Every structure is written in C-alpha cells, then in structure tokens.
Structure 1
Amino acid sequence: MIVVMLSVAIINEVLERRRRQRWSILAQYVMLELVRNARLIWTGVLEHAGLLAPDGARPESVDANGPLVRDTPGLTAALRQVVVDDVRLRGLHEEIAVLAAHSDEVLGRWAAVMLNADAYAEVVDRHVELASDIGWLNGLLDNSDPPDDSRRRRRAQSSPAVQIEGGIAGEQLADRVVVIAQLAEELDRGTLELALRIVPVAWWRARLGTADSQEAARGRASAGVQSSATFPKPFAE
C-alpha cells in the first residue's frame, strides 16, 4: 500500500510539473506578444517623430532608443513639429490606426485567459490601459479627419471618446502621444523582464540546441534538477 501511495504521489508531481511547464510556456508567449505590441507603439511614434534611424526598430537598437522616448522635452518638441505638418500628421494618424487595430487583436486574443491568473492580471491590466489609450486617440483622430475606410468612419462616429472629449489637435495631441509612447516603452521593459523570469533563457537554449546548450545542461545537472523544475509557478495554486 505504501509503495502504491508513493507511486501515485510521484505521478501526481510529474503531472503537476508538466502542467506548470505548459502554462509557463503559454504565459511567456503571451507576455512576449504584449512586449511586441508595446514596442510597435513606441517605435512607431519615434519613427514618425523623425527620431528613429531606418534600422532603429531592430532588437539590438531597443536599449539605445528607449532614452529617446523617456526624453519628454525632446519627444514633445519633435511631435509638435509633426502635428503642424498636414502630411506628417496624416502619416501619424494612419500609424495610430494600425497600432490601435493590432492592440485590439492582441488583447482580444489573450486578455481573458491571462486575467484569470493573479500573477499576470496587473501587467495585463496595464496593457489594456495602453490599448484603451491608443484606441481612444484613434477614435478622436478618425472623427476629426474621417478615413476612406467606411468601417473606421462608423466606429469613430459611435466612439465614446468623441462624445466625451470632442476632439484633440495641436500641442494637446502631441502631448497625448508622448504619454502613450512613454507608457508603451515602460511596459515593453517591464513585461520583457517578467517574461524572461517565467521561462529561463538557458532552458530555451538547451531545448533548441543552441551553441551553449551543453553548458546550460551541465549547469542544470550540477544543480541536481530536471529542466522542467526550472519553471516558476505562474499561477496561484
């Protein structure tokens, strides 16, 4: 009987580890999707502000470009030049429309799943805030400068943003875009840090057989643990 009970306990522990591993991989995937969405927003703003080099959106350039977003006076001045130029303003408007649609798609796909996990609810809430901010702004811009797309026009006409705020332009518009871009950059950094804690990079290197996978495997072996044990518990038990 004792042997049977021990066997059941071991099997249950193995199954629990596998469950945590599956959830951890899913959670990391979602966090990285949120990172990508946030990064699209702040790098898109930098590009239209004329502050992003042609290859500035590449991953290796992210750390160098972050300070450009956090430089409130510099970014504000650049965007105030954009909003007084009809051509550049139209380009920024179209970029915001694309970003709003992408944010809706990402949050619509994953928010309901992740909000059920206390460990991730707060960070997802912040990304919902970001998506709401950019969607709100897009509604105001689509109402003041109606696009050719009839669906976007109808959405703008029914937008609560228009009813509540009316419109936005000039320096107020530039200042609003600065706030959104800075929130996106902050969420990019914070969510990426969280994602890399969920599943260690060393585990992926070993899993995918990269050059230093053997070193990572030796490190796990010396610690006396299995690879699945390196996953933190992402959900409250």
Structure 2
Amino acid sequence: MIPKRNILKQELVSLLEEEFEISPHKAYEKLALRLKISSDDLLLQRSGTSLFKHEIRWAKQELVNENIIEKPAVFGKGVWRLVSQTFVQNSPENYADDLPEKFLFSEGAGKRILVNRYERDKKARSKCLEYYGFKCSVCEKTLEEQYGEIAKGCIHVHHLVPLSRIGKQYAVDPISDLRPICPNCHYMLHRKDPPLSIEELQNIIRKNVESTQNFKANKSRTC
C-alpha cells in the first residue's frame, strides 16, 4: 500500500538531504525503492495518473508551502531542493548538517529531524571541531584561507556513515564518526549513493590535478 502523506514527506526530505537536489522523475524512482512500493501499487491510478506520483507531488507541495522545499520559481520545475541548503547563517553552528529547531518534531519517545530523521548532536559537532580543527579533511584547506575573516569558524561536519542509513538511534562518536569538510567537498561526497569516502574523493582530486598538469605539459611542448 502507498504510505500516508506524513511518511511520504519524511522520506522525500530525507532523500533530498542525501541528494542535495533531484529531478521529479528520479525522486519517484528512488522513493518507490526506499518505501518498497509494490508493482501493483505503482499501477494504481487516480484520474488517469499514477496514484503514487500524485501523492508524492502533494507531499512535495505541502513541503513547499511549509518552506522546507524551494518553490519552483527558485530552481525551476525540474529540480527539487531543500530551502535549508541554499544559505548558511552567520553562526558556525548552523549549516546543512545542523538545522534550526523548527525542523524538529516528536515521534514516539524520541526526537527526529525532518531532514534526515535523526537528531544531529551539536555537542558532537563541537567535539569533532575541537579535535580536528576547521581544516577540510578532503582538500586540507580552510574557508578562512580563501575568504578571510568572514569565513572564520565556517565548516560542515560530515558523518562517515550517513545517519539515514542507521536503523536506530545511534550515539555518535565525534572523533571516529565525524570529520570537518568544506561545503564544496561535502557536496561532492554526496554526489554518489552511498556517499564517496574521503579517500575516494581525494583520489579523484589527485587524478584530476595530474591530468590537468599533463595536458598543460603536452600543450607547451607542441607550441
């Protein structure tokens, strides 16, 4: 059976938190897999259209009205993206990984964050940064080096194992489970599902640098 609207909304926002942005077609496809929608349920129709897609569109529209998903006028009708990922507040405590309390809601005995279904512990973030500092674990640069004083203390904190993939409340170890990652590298890590490892992305960067250097060297020899 097709889940209730509130479940669809939770799963859609969780998906967007992992993907950053997604097309409607991909959203339908991935949500059907995540929710284990049967082939029979996918064939159900309402007014000549897929009932499952109809419900997803309504879930998405409610999230737009709640200012959780961007309006189509911002990114276009072919892109769904979370409002919370389009800005960074001045406080270094508020980033895509650490959302405002308005995204919290109760379910049973525990709290869940609408974006990824689990509470992100700010104390764990602080402990991680106390240990590792504000240098990106991938590119080994700080935002302050590039942007100056305005970027002091700005960094994302990346979960090596996405919390959305852990099927129960999990006590995060700030040292072994978290790493400081700059926004650009963080985005690149999540270009794959499951996310790339830090080492995999470093290898991609290294190969790209070597390829660029070889191209320039070959070009200079032919000039």
TM interval, shorter chain, is: under 0.3
Identify, as 1 or 2, the structure richer in strand: 2
Larger Rg: 1
Higher RCO structure, 1 or 2 (CA under 8 Å, sep 6+): 1
More helix by share: 1
